[in-house]
Amino acid sequence: LELTIGIVGATGVVGQTALDLLADEFTDFKVKKLKLYASRASAGKMVTFCNSKITIEEPNLPSMLECNAILFATEASISTEFIPKLAEHGVLCIDKSSAFRAHPSVPLVVPEVNGHLLNPNELKKFPVVASPNCCTIPLVMVLKPLQDKFGLERVILSTYQSVSGAGKPAIDVLTEETKNFFVNQDLTCGKSEIFPKSIAFNVMPYVAGILDNGDTDEESKIISESRKILNSPKLPLAATSVRVPTFVGHGESVTLELSSKVTASQIKETLSEFPGIQIIDEKSAKDEDLGTYGLFVTPRETHGKDDVFVSRIRNTDVFQNGISLWIVSDNLRKGAALNAIQVINSCAANGTLKALSSK
Ligand code: 2RA
């Protein structure tokens, strides 16, 4: 299948990651034409993709209507403005923003977890698929196989989120503050437009805005999206989102209660059989054994990797059937761009895009 693919937010870190992935040609579809959209500031710039030059445009309906599928990797307001009109004309829209994640007619999809929701007959009516938050995706990749096999009672987690989750400006802030420390020995806790306090050599128990109930917007997304994807609207789930001074890779420290007693090795076995998960979990390793990852996986090691990695799997007596573990993955790939492109790929493979193009 040859497709015209659009990327809105093409100059952002997720948009750039999507370009890299499409250039790898790992998909079951061929990119016949690529159309790139970004803010006015970037419009007119040229990008080279697979040896052809592409001029970046501002989002505009006439051009976007030429696409078979569009990945929205930008703020919710742009998705809200353009997606309804594009969907009406049969353009498949994969939205990374939160704009449609709670929408009752829009599937919130992680292909390995609930890819069955990508139903051609349903999507023909309203071809919009929401891609979850970059912490929700790795979390449900781990929770789903455990829920299916052992039953899931409750979840408590803390995230360790790299600054790239807040985009290129946040990467620049961490770079500048770190440089400022080493060049000028200055670590004033300066406030930037991106972070309320200095992030270099610091952590912030706080990602996105604070809501009336004391949760942050990020924590609320993780809770509501996980419940929707796992079909568990009442699942007790407590989340604390923490921003850490790393560039790429989101980590999550998770403690959960299962419905039945399970050993750590049963957990390892179940997770290792789930597509897209890699278990790296040694109790000890001599230097030469460390190999690629050894012992456990750190955020930096996930950069550019597609898998969700799980380490530190162990029983805990904090709950009757308690398990604790560490989840870490590249927040720009499986946490965002890869998941969205996998959705397009599934829609190419299951006939959705063919059905839409004949509309
Ligand atoms: C973050 N998950 O990490 C949010 C949005 N990508 O900033």
Q: What is the pLDDT of residues 306-317, one digit of tens each?
A: 999 999 999 999
Does the pLDDT of residue 10 top 80, yes or no? yes
**At 82, which amino acid appears?**
F
Read off the pTM.
Answer: 0.96
Instruction: Report whether pLDDT(289) > 60.
Output: no
| 292: pLDDT strictly greater than 90 | no
Q: Is the pLDDT of residue 285 over 70?
A: no
Q: Is the dihedral of CA 254, 259, 263, 269 positive or negative?
A: negative
Per-residue pLDDT, 293: 65
- Residue 133 alpha carbon, nearest atom of ligand 1: 2
pLDDT digits (tens, 9 = 90+) for 130-172: 999 999 999 999 999 999 999 999 999 999 999 999 999 999 9
Determine the angle formed by the axes of helices 264-272 and 136-150, rounding to 10 degrees: 110
How many A from CA of 134 to the centre of ligand 1?
6
Phi and psi (nearest 5°) for 243? -90, 130
- State the distance from the centre of ligand 1 to the C-alpha of 166, rounded, in angstroms: 5
User: Which residue's CA is the closest to the ligand 1 atom numbered 6?
Assistant: 165
pLDDT at position 338 = 98
Q: How many Å apart are CA 102 and CA 111, to the nearest integer?
A: 17
Per-residue pLDDT, 53 = 93
Task: Determine whether 250 is an active site residue.
Answer: yes
The per-residue pLDDT for 27 is 86
Ligand 1 and 165: CB distance under 6 A:
yes
User: Would the CB of 166 count as within 6 Å of ligand 1?
Assistant: yes
Using one digit for the tens of pLDDT, what is the confidence trace for 235-278? 999 999 999 999 999 999 999 999 999 999 999 999 999 999 99
Can you give the pLDDT at residue 286?
60
In angstroms, what is the span from residue 287 Cα to ligand 1's centroid? 34
Confidence of residue 184 (pLDDT cuts 50, 70, 90): confident
Provide the pLDDT for residue 358: 79
**ipTM, two decimals:** 0.96
The reply to whether 116 belongs to the active site is: no
Instruction: Please choose from 137, 159, 241, 331 the residue to mutate so as to test ligand 1's pocket, defined by most ligand atoms within 8 A of CB.
Output: 331
Q: Atom 1 (ligand 1): residue with closest C-alpha? A: 165
Q: What percentage of the chain reaches a pLDDT higher than 90?
A: 86
pLDDT tier at 1, thresholds 50, 70, 90: confident
The letter for the amino acid at 304 is G
**Around 144, how many Cα atoms within 13 Å sit in the side-chain half-sphere?**
25
